[in-house]
Structure 1
Amino acid sequence: MYESHFGLQEAPFALTPNTRYFLRAPSHSESLELLLVALRQREGFIKVTGEVGTGKTLLCRLLLNELDKEACTAYIPNPHLPPQTLYEAVAEELGVNVADCKNTHQTLKALNQRLIELAMERKPAVLVIDEAQAMPEQTIEALRLLTNLETESTRLLQVVLFGQPELDASLGKASLRQLRQRITFQTRLAPLNKESVGQYIRHRLTQAGYNGADLFAPSAVRVIWKASGGIPRLVNILAHKSLLAAWGAGAGQVARKHAMQAVRDTESANSVGFLGARL
């Protein structure tokens, strides 16, 4: 729509997670490094939490890409599953033919055998679960039992949980204290600060093919930072609408008024409660 007007090759602020657009902002970069170090040290459970829109799914995909050559990974994007289905999903992801398994016992036996094979090949097995706050309590407990699969010297399965803050509340239950005690590393994704929001916008524009002077005026970036609270998903929405407003007005740069127009058109940004304040 506005791409040719601003010299872009593609839309820079799409909401679909794309690892090419990942910005190594402090919180996100540190979280990725912590995950890689912890997994390479063969830690058991690792937890990553963050508010909606902070980039958990993108970080999850980056982690899977990083692990692609050094580990066998199982990815569960929707863990709202009963225990038996979780076992089957993990087994399938790791290459087990679950069609031959007639019950839970056989599924776990086949999965355990597969994990032993991977251990003999010196290839770590890593289970990555996105949206982990959606897991029923019984399934969370089943996940703990799954990590009991180990040899005398080797942990056969490592688990990374990505979830919204509600995951902390779920794991805080007394009935799940055994799993909570197994979480050896945890990190929380923080919103972007003002400087990082500016870097984030410029980075995405560059990745989309822009190579001119700053397309967003500093005052526009400030508005987007304030209205979004530094949440990347909201930054994307507001930046996209700001470009639309500037394009519609025939402007060559996104000014404060265009960003304010985007804020007024975005209910989730309006709820931040800064409208009417002096920016």
Structure 2
Amino acid sequence: MYETHFGLKESPFSLTPDTDYYFSYADHQEALNVLLVALRMGEGFLKITGEVGTGKTLICRKLLNILSDEGMVTAYIPNPYLTPSALRYSLAEELGVEYPMNIGGHRALQLIYNRLITLKAEGRQVILLLDEAQALPEETLEAIRLLTNLETEKSKLLQVVLVGQPELDEHLERPSVRQLKQRITFSHAIHALNPEGCRGYIQHRTRVAGHQGNTLFNDKALEWLYRGSRGIPRLINILAHKSMLAAYGDGKGRVDKVHVRRAIDDTEGAALRHNSLVRFWQSLFGRQALATMRGRG
């Protein structure tokens, strides 16, 4: 809707995890580097955690692209709320294993093992990447651990990357899955962007979308974007998109703080925090003082 108005070839703030828009923020790049180094070393179990909306799925997509370019075989399961049998069938399908209907779990595992042996003989590593891993049932976590027992005398046949919300760490604290936790050799926690990272993120995405010249968001707009999003990329995308719609509706060529504040008030995750701050300051200073402070902002 507003792309032509702002000189863009496409919308820069889609919620789809498009790797063309991957922003090499220090914390996110460190997570990616940890994964790449550990996988290239042949480590068996890796773990990445981060709050909702911090960019975990985009990192997964970026990782898959890099591994594919390096000739590695990847099996990506984005929704692992599966029974152990369903997980084995999903892995078999990802690896191109054909199996008859109603095959037993033991037979499916044998077919997977045979496929892994074949790929190993071809000199190819196999990586199983499980997104939203905090949703894994306990019995499925145990099935994953058993899958990593598939090995030759010198190396693992299957490497596993668990990517999930912080609840994943809580699940791994249970005594019943302590054997799996002990096998995790490398882990990294992703955090929200800081104010400078938020600014760089906005500028990066608008440039990729085709914008040339000065930033589309002025300094006050960027400041309020950070306040409203708390540095969470998904919220930044939502607020930036709505802010640009507001600026477009006003016929403005740049986004100002007033447009961002409208977006914050229209976005549930951000508006809740914003309104709670309003109530807090009102309780301390009263409505008139708050209005004066807003005018200075």
The offset of 1:70, in angstroms, is 2.5
Cα deviation code 1:172-226 (max 9, x no counterpart): 1110000000000001111001011111111111111110211100110010111
The letter of the residue matching 2:179 is Q
SS in 2 for 1:99: coil
Q: Output aligned runs, 1:172-183, within 5 Å.
A: 172-183=173-184
Cα distance in 2, alignment partners of residues 201 and 160 from structure 1: 29
CA contact (8 A) 1:50 1:56 kept: yes
Runs of 4+ in structure 1 deviating by more than 4 angstroms, as ranges, are: none
The offset of 1:100, in angstroms, is 6.9
2:8 pairs with 1:8: yes
Cα distance in 2, alignment partners of residues 188 and 75 from structure 1: 20
**Alignment size in residue pairs:** 279
The offset of 1:272, in angstroms, is 2.8
The offset of 1:146, in angstroms, is 0.6
Q: Output aligned runs, 1:114-125, within 5 Å.
A: 114-125=115-126
SS in 2 for 1:74: strand
Gapped regions of structure 1 (runs ≥ 5): none
CA contact (8 A) 1:171 1:177 kept: yes
Cα deviation code 1:71-93 (max 9, x no counterpart): 11111111111101111111111
Structure number, greater radius of gyration: 2
Q: Output aligned runs, 1:52-201, within 5 Å.
A: 52-68=52-68, 69-99=70-100, 102-201=103-202
Cα distance in 2, alignment partners of residues 39 and 101 from structure 1: 34
Cα deviation code 1:4-61 (max 9, x no counterpart): 1111111110111100000000111111011000000000100001011001111000
Cα distance in 1, alignment partners of residues 176 and 238 from structure 2: 40
The letter of the residue matching 2:8 is L
Cα distance in 1, alignment partners of residues 103 and 235 from structure 2: 46
CA contact (8 A) 1:3 1:10 kept: yes
1:227 matched residue in structure 2: 228
Percent of pairs identical after alignment? 53
CA contact (8 A) 1:228 1:272 kept: no
SS in 1 for 2:75: strand
Give the CA RMSD over aligned residues. 1.3
Q: Output aligned runs, 1:23-62, within 5 Å.
A: 23-62=23-62
The letter of the residue matching 2:116 is L
SS in 2 for 1:7: coil
CA contact (8 A) 1:101 1:107 kept: no
SS in 2 for 1:271: helix
When structure 1 is superposed on structure 2, of 205-214 and 95-104 the one drifting more is 95-104
SS in 1 for 2:187: strand
Cα distance in 2, alignment partners of residues 271 and 262 from structure 1: 12
Gapped regions of structure 2 (runs ≥ 5): 282-292
Cα deviation code 1:97-150 (max 9, x no counterpart): 122772111111111111111111111110001111111111011110110001
Cα distance in 2, alignment partners of residues 34 and 83 from structure 1: 28
The letter of the residue matching 1:145 is L
The offset of 1:94, in angstroms, is 1.0
The letter of the residue matching 1:40 is R
The offset of 1:238, in angstroms, is 0.5
SS in 2 for 1:213: coil
2:284 matched residue in structure 1: none
Cα distance in 2, alignment partners of residues 238 and 101 from structure 1: 48
2:5 pairs with 1:21: no
Cα distance in 1, alignment partners of residues 97 and 173 from structure 2: 33
When structure 1 is superposed on structure 2, of 33-42 and 251-260 the one drifting more is 251-260
Cα distance in 2, alignment partners of residues 162 and 89 from structure 1: 17
Describe the shift of the 1:72–1:101 C-alpha distance in structure 2 as closer, same or farther (beyond 3 A): farther
SS in 2 for 1:159: strand
Cα distance in 1, alignment partners of residues 161 and 141 from structure 2: 13
The offset of 1:271, in angstroms, is 2.7
CA contact (8 A) 1:229 1:272 kept: no
SS in 2 for 1:185: strand
Q: Output aligned runs, 1:240-251, within 5 Å.
A: 240-251=241-252
